[in-house]
Amino acid sequence: MTDITKQSLSELVKNIKNKKLSSKEVTKAYIDRSEKSKELNTYITENYSSALEMAEKFDQKPNLDLKLPGIPMAVKDLFCTNNIRTTAGSKILNNFIPTYESTVTQNIWNEGAILLGKLNCDEFAMGSSNETSFFGNVQNPIDKNLVPGGSSGGSAAAVAGQLTPITIGTDTGGSIRQPASFTGTVGLKPTYGSCSRYGIVAFASSLDQAGPMAQSVRDCALLQEVISSYDPKDSTSIDFKRNEYSKELTNNIKGKKIGIPKEYRIDGMPKEIEDLWQKGIQYVKDCGAEIVDISLPHTSYALPAYYIVAPAEASSNLARYDGVKYGFRAKGENLIDMYEKTRSEGFGTEVQRRIMIGTYVLSSGYYDAYYLKAQKVRKLIKNDFDEAYKKVDAILTPSTPSSAFKIGEKTDDPVSMYLNDIFTVPVNLAGLPGISIPAGHDTNGYPLGLQIIGKAFDEQNVLNIAYAIEEKINFKNKITDWWIK
Amino acid sequence: MSIDLKTIKHISKLSRISVDEEKADKLAGDLNSIFNFIEKLNQLKTDNIEPLTSVVETTLKLRTDEVKSKDLREQVIKNSPQDNEDYFVVPKVIE
C-alpha cells in the first residue's frame, strides 16, 4: 500500500471501509507528518491528542456508512470550533474559545471526520499571501521562499504538503482559489448561499463563502456534498436541491459550451499564463466541448468595486471587537481610550487599513460617491455574467495573473497585492461558483491554475468540467519534502 | 482627491482605532494609492442602474419568534476579558 499521507481522500475512505486501515493509523500518520513539518507554520492550534482519542473511539465502533469515516482533517482557523481556540489569525482573538460550532464544521463531524487542528490564514481572511497573520507567514511546500497565497494559505499549504488529506477554506475575493493555484491543489468556491456562514468569523458578509480544498476534483466534490446545506441559522443560506456531487461526477462534457472572456487577457500578463489558458482551451475541445468567445465588459471595474464593498462590510463586521465581550483588551484611561487602544494594538496593519477604508466610504457625505456607486457597478458585473450565461454553460479563465510570488515581495505595496485577485474577485461579486485546478508549471516549476466559473447553483457542471480537464492534464505536483530534516 | 492627515484623524476617531503621527502618515500614503485605484469607477456612468444589495434574489424567510436556546449566561460571559459574575466590566463611565 502507498504511504498513508500520499493517498487521496477517496482511497483513504475505501481503505477504512475495507478495514485495511484504521482511523487511528491514518490519524497518526498525518500527525507524525505534521509534527515533522512545523517549519511550514501551517497550524495555529494543534488538536493531536484529542484527535487520536477520537480515532480510537471511532475504531471501537466504526460507522462505515458515513461519508468521511474516521478521516482526520485540519480546517482554516476562521471556523468556530466548540471549545477549541479560534483566532482568525488575529491577536484580537488570540484567546477566544468558542462555545458553539460552525454549521460547516458540524456537517463534517456528522459524517465521521476528526479535527486535527486549526490552520493559519491571513488576519480575518484579509490578504493574498498569508503574511498578514498574527501567527507569522506560511511557507509554500513548493518552494521555501514562496508565499502559499491567501487568505486560506495554511489550508492550501497543508493539503499540498500532505499534512491533511482535505481541508476547508473561505473565499471572499479569491481566498480559496488563489492559494490552490499557488500550491498545485484544487479549491472550490461554491455559489453564495450554498454553504452556511453560521459560525464563520465574518469578513464581508455579502461575499464570504466556505468551500473545499483537496488534491483532486473528486475529493473536492465529496467534501462539497458534505459541507453544503440549507441552514436556517444563516439568513442568506439558500434552500435548493443539492446534488451528491461525487456520485454524479462525470468527465463527459461533450457539447457543453465554454466561454472565453476576452477581457481576462490583461496587459502585461506573462506569456506562460496565456499559454496555459490556450492549453486549457485545447483540453476542453479535446473533451468534445465547444469554445465560445464571450465578453464580460466590466471586468476591469471588479477590483475597484470590491475594494469598496469588502472593506465597507468589514468595517461594520469588525466593530464588534471592542475589548468588552471577548478577545484582547488593552488598558485605557477611560472607555473610549480602551476601545481605541484595544483595536489599535489588537488588529494588524492590513486589517486596520481596510477598516479605515470601509469607515471612510460609509461616512457621511461619501456613501453615495463610493458605496452606492460600487453596488451599482456590482450590478453591472453580475449583468455581464447573466448575459454570458445565455450563450454558455461555464467560463474558462486563468486562476491568477502569475504563479506564487516571493515572501515579502508585495508587502509594501497594497495595490499590487490586491491585483492578484483580478480573475477571482468578479466571481464573488456575482455570487457564482468557481474552481481552481492545477494545470501546469511555469519556467521555475511553480504550479499554475485554471479557473472554471459556473452558473449559480451549478456546482455539478463546474466540477464535471474540472474533472474532465484534470484527467487530460494529468498534473503532478512537485513536492520534494524539503522542510523535513 | 487626496486624503490628508486631518481626514485620517477623523476616520481614526470614527473607527475607534488610535493612530499616532507616524502611523497617520503611512496610512495617508496607503489610502491615497488605494483610492487612486478605486477612482477608476468614476469612468462608468451608473445613473439608471439599480444597486445590487444581494446576489440571490430572495426574500428573507420569516419564522416564529420562539426561544430555542436558554441558560447561555455562562457561555456568553465566558470569553470576556474582565467579568464580575454576571456582568461585563468596562472602565468607569459615570463620575
- Residue ranges of the domains in chain B? 5-43
Please tell me the predicted confidence (pLDDT) of residue B1: 59
Between the alpha carbon of residue A124 and those of residues A352, A393, B76, the distances in Å are 11, 34, 22
In angstroms, what separates the C-alpha of A302 from chain B's closest C-alpha? Answer: 9
The mean pLDDT of A74-89, rounded to a whole number, is: 98
The mean pLDDT of A32-52, rounded to a whole number, is: 98
pLDDT at A173 over 70: yes
Mutation for testing the A interface, residue in B13, B37, B41 having most A CBs under 10 Å: B41
In angstroms, what separates the C-alpha of A173 from chain B's closest C-alpha? Answer: 14
Mutation for testing the B interface, residue in A266, A376, A417 having most B CBs under 10 Å: A376
Q: Is residue A117 part of a domain?
A: yes
The pLDDT-based confidence of A485 (bands split at 50, 70, 90) is: confident
The mean pLDDT of A387-397, rounded to a whole number, is: 98
Q: Which residue of A has its CA nearest to B23?
A: A349
Q: Which residue of B has its CA nearest to A417?
A: B34
The mean pLDDT of A309-326, rounded to a whole number, is: 97
Residues spanned by the domain of A11: 4-256
Please tell me the predicted confidence (pLDDT) of residue B83: 74
Per-residue model confidence as pLDDT tens digits over B20-49: 999 999 999 999 999 999 999 999 999 999
Please tell me the predicted confidence (pLDDT) of residue A415: 87
Tell me the catalytic residues of A.
76, 151, 175
The mean pLDDT of A74-80, rounded to a whole number, is: 98
Amino acid identity at B63? R
Contact at 8 Å (CB) between A167 and A75?
yes
Query: Helical H runs in B15-88?
Result: 21-38, 73-78
Please tell me the predicted confidence (pLDDT) of residue B59: 80
Per-residue model confidence as pLDDT tens digits over B50-86: 999 888 877 888 889 999 888 888 888 999 998 777 8
In angstroms, what separates the C-alpha of B76 from chain A's closest C-alpha? Answer: 8
pLDDT at A449 over 90: yes
Q: A301 and B37 in contact by Cβ < 8 A? A: no
The CATH number of residue A126's host domain is 3.90.1300.10
Please tell me the predicted confidence (pLDDT) of residue A108: 98
Indicate the angle between helix axes B21-38 and B5-14, nearest 10 degrees: 100
A303 has a chain B CB within 8 A of its CB = yes
Q: Which of A380, A385, A379, A461 is nearest to A427 (CA)?
A: A385
Per-residue model confidence as pLDDT tens digits over A220-267: 999 999 999 999 999 999 999 999 999 999 999 999 999 999 999 988
Interacting residues of A67 by C-beta distance below 8 A, sequence separation 6+:
A13, A111, A112, A222, A225, A226
pTM of the model: 0.97
Contact at 8 Å (CB) between A249 and A465?
no
Contacts of A193 in chain B (CB under 8 A): 55-56
Amino acid identity at A449? G
Q: CATH for B5-43?
A: 1.10.20
Instruction: Tell me which of A152-156, A391-395, B18-22 is least confident.
Output: B18-22
Instruction: Tell me which of A70-74, B11-15, B56-60 is least confident.
Output: B56-60
CA distance A105 to A120: 16
Contacts of A430 in chain B (CB under 8 A): 55
The structural domain count of chain A equals: 1
